[in-house]
C-alpha cells in the first residue's frame, strides 16, 4: 500500500514529533502500534510510508477556523473503529460529532468559539435530554438515536462540513471564485471521479435523504486502521491546539477531549490515612477534620477536589482534601469561598506535610506545585504557606469563574428554624446558627422547618428538599442531584399541588419578580423544565452574567423568546428574561442574541411561592 508520490515535507510529518511529546500517543488504540520508546520512529514511519495521505491530512487541519473538520474526522474514526461498514450514514457521523464534543463542552465547559454552531447544538441536546455532563458516550448515542429533534439540529452540518473537509484534495481545480453551492456540487462530483485515480479522496458520497452516506475508500480505510492510534492522536493534537487558542490559560486542555476515566485517588487516600494515624499518635485527632463543615473525620471519608476536577483534570495532593461524603455531594463541581476556605485548606496541608516530612514520596506534588522542597515550605510557617496557596489557587479560580464555574460556595449546616431562632433536633442540644446563617438571616415572616441530614429523621410524604439558589443553579445544571441542605414540609405552607420528581424549595432574593415572588420568599421549583418555556418563570444560568440580586451567574425571571424557521429547522432570534416588577429603570429586561444562547441554560421552572406566616 506504499505510495510513490512524495510532496514537500508535509505538515502532518512536522506535527508528529510534537504530537509524540504532547500526547505520548498513549491512547488505548496506540498501544498496539509501538512501545513508548519506539513512538518517534512509528510516527515518522507513517509519514514516510504514506506521504500522499499524510500530506493531505496536514492540509486539512491547516488554518482551522472552527471545530467542524476536526470533530467530523474524529467522528469518522470512531465509526471506523466500532464497525466494518464501508458506508457511513451522515446521520451517524453527525451523532458521533455530538458525542465527541459533549464532554469538552458540557463537562469541561470549554468554548468551541463564539461562532461555532456545534457547541450551540450540543448544549441544546444536553438541555433537552436532561443527561448529566459526565454521561458515558453510549448514553449520548442512545438519546440522539431516539430523538428526532436532536437529529434535526445535527442535520445543520450536512450543508458544507462533509464537502469542505475534502477541499484540499481538489484545491487546484476549485479555485476561489465559485459560490458555496457550486463548490459543494463540484466537490461531490470530483470525489466520485477521484476514486478511480491513485490519489483518491478518503470518501465519496452516495444515497439521498436519510440514507445519504459516505463510502470510505478502500486504500484510506486500510491506512486508517493500520495507523489508527497515530492518526487519532494527530487529530486530537490539532483539536487540543484549536481549543487552547479559544480557551487561553485554561489548564489541561489536552486531557479534556474525551469522557473522564476513573480518578486515581488511591495514593491520596493512603496519604490522608497516614496523616490521620499520625495525628492520632500525636494526640491531636480533632485536627483531622472536614475543612468545610469543621467536623472531625473518622476512618471513612471522601476526597474532595478543592478546585473542581472538571477544571483541573488532575488528582494532585495539593488540591485534595478529606471531607465527609455529604460534603462532597453538596459541594459538587463548584468553587468554594476562597477567603473562608483557603486558610483552612492550607492549615490542614501544612500539618499534613509536617506529619509526612520523613516520607518524601508523599510530598513530590507540593514541591512541583510550589517550586520549593518540603523543608522550605514548612519553614514559611502556616501564614507563609497559606500565602503560597493563595498565589497558586487565586489565578486558577479566576479562570474557572470566567469559564462559568459557580463560585463562592459555602457549606450550610441545616437546622430547624422558626424565624431566626434554632430549635432542637431529636432532643439533642440546640444547634447554633453558623456564621453563614448570621450573614443571611431568614425573614421572621417565614416558618421553614428543615432539619439536618445527620439527624437520620426520614422526610415526610409532604416534604421537598431545600437547596440554596446557588447550589440549585450549580448542581442541577450538571444534573447531579445535589445533596439536600434540609427538608421542608410544603403542605404546612400552602402547597397543595401533587409533589413530583425534580421539585425542590429555594429562597428567592430581590424585588425584580414582585408581586409574583416577594423578596426573601421560599418557592417551589421543578427541574428540568418540560415542554415550552414560553411565559414561564425560570431559574437561568449564563456564563459571565452577574445578577445584582443573586450575586451569581444565575437569575430568576420570566422567559420569552422569538424563533425563526428555515430549511434546517428552527433557531432563536432573541431571548428575553423579563422581570415581573414594572419598574424598568431598576429592573430592565435582559435580552440575549443567538450567540449568547450558546451558554444560556434554563435549569428549573417556578411552581409556587410558599405562604408566609406573620
End-to-end CA distance of the chain, in Å?
85
| Alpha carbon distance 200, 437 (integer Å) | 69
427: cell is 432532643
Is residue 332 a contact partner of residue 417, using CB atoms and an 8 Å limit? no
552: cell is 451569581
Of 310, 406, 397, nearest to 345 by C-alpha is: 397
471: cell is 447550589
| Alpha carbon distance 459, 9 (integer Å) | 70
Q: Give the sign of the dihedral formed by CA 294, CA 297, CA 300, CA 301.
A: positive
**What's 551's DSSP letter?**
S
Residue 458 burial class via C-beta count within 10 angstroms: exposed 0-12, middle 13-18, buried 19 and up:
exposed
| Alpha carbon distance 167, 187 (integer Å) | 7
CA angle 238, 51, 54 (to 5 degrees): 20
Cell 411561592, residue?
Answer: 609
| Alpha carbon distance 560, 589 (integer Å) | 10
Residue 86 burial class via C-beta count within 10 angstroms: exposed 0-12, middle 13-18, buried 19 and up:
middle
| Alpha carbon distance 166, 603 (integer Å) | 40
Task: Name, in order, each residue with C-beta under 8 angstroms of 507's C-beta and a sequence gap of 6 or more.
Answer: 442, 468, 469, 520, 521, 522, 523
pLDDT at 438: 33
Backbone phi and psi for residue 232, each to the nearest 5 degrees, phi listed first: -65, -45
Backbone phi and psi for residue 153, each to the nearest 5 degrees, phi listed first: -60, -40
93: cell is 457521523
Q: Is 11 left (phi over 0), alpha (psi -120 to 50) or beta?
A: alpha
pLDDT at 345: 96
- What one-character-per-residue DSSP string does 561-589 give? EEEEEETTEEEEEEEEEE-SS--TTTSPP
List the beta bridge partners of residue 556.
539
The DSSP H or E segment spanning 203 is strand 203-206
To the nearest 10°, report the CA torsion of 473, 253, 101, 316.
-60
Task: Name, in order, each residue with C-beta under 8 angstroms of 48's C-beta and a sequence gap of 6 or more.
Answer: none
Domains of the chain by range and CATH? 11-255 (no CATH), 266-403 (no CATH), 416-609 (2.10.109.10)
Is residue 145 a contact partner of residue 84, using CB atoms and an 8 Å limit? no
| Alpha carbon distance 44, 54 (integer Å) | 10
Is residue 110 a contact partner of residue 250, using CB atoms and an 8 Å limit? yes
Please provide the size of the chain in residues. 614
Of 317, 337, 327, 389, nearest to 552 by C-alpha is: 337
Query: Could you tell me the mean pLDDT of each successive run of 10 residues in the chain, 614 residues long?
Result: 41 42 33 35 64 85 86 95 88 96 93 88 90 89 94 91 92 75 89 91 89 93 90 91 90 88 83 94 93 90 92 92 85 88 95 89 87 89 92 91 84 44 31 33 38 53 82 54 77 86 88 88 88 88 63 80 64 83 88 69 89 51
Alpha helices in 6-67 (DSSP H): 11-22, 39-49, 51-60
For the whole prediction, is pTM greater than 0.85? no
C-beta atoms surrounding 498 within 10 Å: 6
Task: Name, in order, each residue with C-beta under 8 angstroms of 551's C-beta and a sequence gap of 6 or more.
Answer: 408
Q: How far is CA 310 from CA 131, 134, 200, 437, in A?
A: 16, 9, 41, 29
| Alpha carbon distance 408, 315 (integer Å) | 22
Amino acid at each position: 500500500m506504499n505510495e510513490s508520490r512524495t510532496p514537500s515535507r508535509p505538515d502532518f510529518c512536522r506535527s508528529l514529533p510534537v504530537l509524540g511529546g504532547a500526547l505520548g500517543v498513549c491512547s488505548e488504540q496506540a498501544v498496539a502500534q509501538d512501545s513508548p520508546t519506539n513512538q518517534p520512529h512509528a510516527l515518522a514511519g507513517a509519514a514516510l510510508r504514506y506521504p500522499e495521505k499524510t500530506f493531505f491530512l496536514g492540509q486539512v487541519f491547516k488554518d482551522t477556523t472552527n471545530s467542524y473538520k476536526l470533530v467530523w474526522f474524529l467522528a469518522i474514526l470512531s465509526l471506523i473503529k466500532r464497525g466494518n461498514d464501508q458506508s457511513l450514514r451522515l446521520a451517524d457521523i453527525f451523532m458521533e460529532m455530538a458525542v465527541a464534543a459533549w464532554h469538552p463542552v458540557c463537562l469541561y465547559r470549554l468554548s468551541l468559539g463564539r461562532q461555532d454552531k456545534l457547541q450551540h447544538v450540543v448544549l441544546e441536546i444536553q438541555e433537552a435530554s436532561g443527561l448529566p455532563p459526565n454521561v458515558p458516550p453510549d448514553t449520548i448515542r442512545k438519546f440522539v438515536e431516539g430523538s428526532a429533534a436532536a437529529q434535526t439540529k445535527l442535520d445543520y452540518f450536512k450543508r458544507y462540513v462533509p464537502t469542505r473537509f475534502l477541499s484540499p484534495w481538489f484545491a487546484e481545480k476549485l479555485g476561489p471564485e465559485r459560490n458555496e453551492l457550486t463548490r459543494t456540487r463540484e466537490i461531490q462530483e470530483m470525489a466520485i471521479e477521484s476514486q478511480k485515480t491513485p490519489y483518491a479522496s478518503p470518501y465519496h458520497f452516495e444515497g439521498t435523504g436519510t440514507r445519504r452516506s459516505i463510502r470510505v475508500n478502500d486504500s484510506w480505510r486500510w491506512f486508517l486502521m493500520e495507523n489508527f492510534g497515530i492518526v487519532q492522536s494527530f487529530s486530537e493534537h490539532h483539536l487540543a491546539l484549536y481549543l487552547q487558542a479559544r480557551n487561553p490559560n485554561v489548564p489541561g486542555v489536552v486531557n479534556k477531549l474525551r469522557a473522564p476515566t476513573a480518578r486515581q485517588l488511591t495514593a491520596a487516600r493512603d496519604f490522608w490515612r497516614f496523616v490521620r494515624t499520625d495525628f492520632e499518635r500525636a494526640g491531636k485527632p480533632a485536627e483531622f477534620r472536614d475543612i468545610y463543615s469543621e467536623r472531625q473525620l473518622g476512618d471513612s471519608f471522601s476526597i474532595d477536589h478543592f478546585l473542581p476536577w472538571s477544571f483541573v483534570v488532575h488528582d494532585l495532593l495539593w488540591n485534595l482534601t478529606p471531607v465527609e461524603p455529604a460534603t462532597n455531594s453538596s459541594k459538587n463541581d463548584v468553587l468554594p469561598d476562597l477567603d473562608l476556605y483557603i486558610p483552612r485548606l492550607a492549615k490542614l496541608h501544612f500539618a499534613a506535610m509536617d506529619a509526612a516530612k520523613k516520607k518524601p514520596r508523599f510530598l513530590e506534588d507540593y514541591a512541583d506545585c510550589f517550586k520549593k522542597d518540603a523543608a522550605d515550605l514548612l519553614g514559611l510557617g502556616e501564614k507563609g504557606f497559606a500565602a503560597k496557596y493563595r498565589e497558586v489557587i487565586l489565578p486558577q479560580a479566576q479562570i474557572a469563574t470566567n469559564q462559568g464555574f459557580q463560585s463562592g460556595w459555602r457549606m450550610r449546616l441545616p437546622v430547624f428554624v422558626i424565624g431566626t431562632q434554632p430549635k432542637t433536633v431529636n432532643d439533642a442540644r440546640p444547634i447554633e446558627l453558623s456564621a453563614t446563617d448570621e450573614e443571611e438571616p431568614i425573614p421572621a415572616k417565614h416558618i421553614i422547618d428543615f432539619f439536618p441530614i445527620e439527624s437520620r429523621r426520614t422526610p415526610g410524604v409532604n416534604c421537598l428538599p431545600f437547596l440554596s439558589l446557588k447550589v440549585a443553579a450549580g448542581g442541577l445544571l450538571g444534573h447531579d442531584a445535589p445533596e439536600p441542605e434540609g427538608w421542608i414540609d410544603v403542605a404546612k405552607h400552602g402547597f397543595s399541588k401533587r409533589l413530583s420528581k425534580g421539585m425542590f424549595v429555594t429562597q428567592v432574593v430581590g424585588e425584580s419578580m414582585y408581586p409574583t415572588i416577594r423578596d426573601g420568599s421560599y418557592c417551589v421549583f421543578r427541574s428540568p423544565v418540560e415542554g415550552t418555556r414560553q411565559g414561564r418563570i425560570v431559574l437561568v444560568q449564563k456564563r459571565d452574567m452577574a445578577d445584582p440580586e443573586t450575586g451569581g451567574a444565575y437569575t430568576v425571571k420570566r422567559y420569552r423568546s422569538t424563533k425563526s424557521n428555515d430549511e434546517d429547522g428552527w433557531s432563536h432570534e432573541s431571548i428575553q428574561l423579563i422581570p415581573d416588577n414594572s419598574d424598568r429603570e431598576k429592573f430592565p429586561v435582559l435580552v440575549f442574541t443567538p450567540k449568547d444562547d450558546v451558554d444560556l441554560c434554563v435549569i428549573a421552572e417556578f411552581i409556587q411561592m410558599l405562604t408566609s406566616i406573620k
